Amino acid sequence: MRVVVDFDLCESNAICMQVAPEIFEVRDDDFLYVLNEQPGEDRRSAVEEAVQRCPKQAISIQD
């Protein structure tokens, strides 16, 4: 699994960071950073929730 973010759509609202803080981080510069682009399958449910909850639909999963 690979986490993909469309940074042109992303508003850095940090909802994904609330769901999966070990994968997503919004820093003081107000930009989203992907801390782990290829998390293990044990994190799939958290990443899927982040995908679903993103208000701009900027996050996707590639298998």
Specify whether the CB–CB gap between 53 and 2 falls below 8 A: no
Note the pLDDT tens digit of each residue in 3-46: 999 999 999 999 999 999 999 999 999 999 999 999 999 999 99
Residue 63's CB is within 10 A of a number of other CB atoms, namely 5
Reported as a pLDDT band with limits 50, 70 and 90, residue 47 is very high
Domain that holds residue 51: 2-62
Buried b (16+ CB within 10 A) or exposed e, 37-61: eebeeebeebbeebbeebeeebbee
pTM attached to this predicted model? 0.94
* Number of compact structural domains in the chain: 1
Indicate which CATH number applies to the domain containing 35: 3.30.70.20
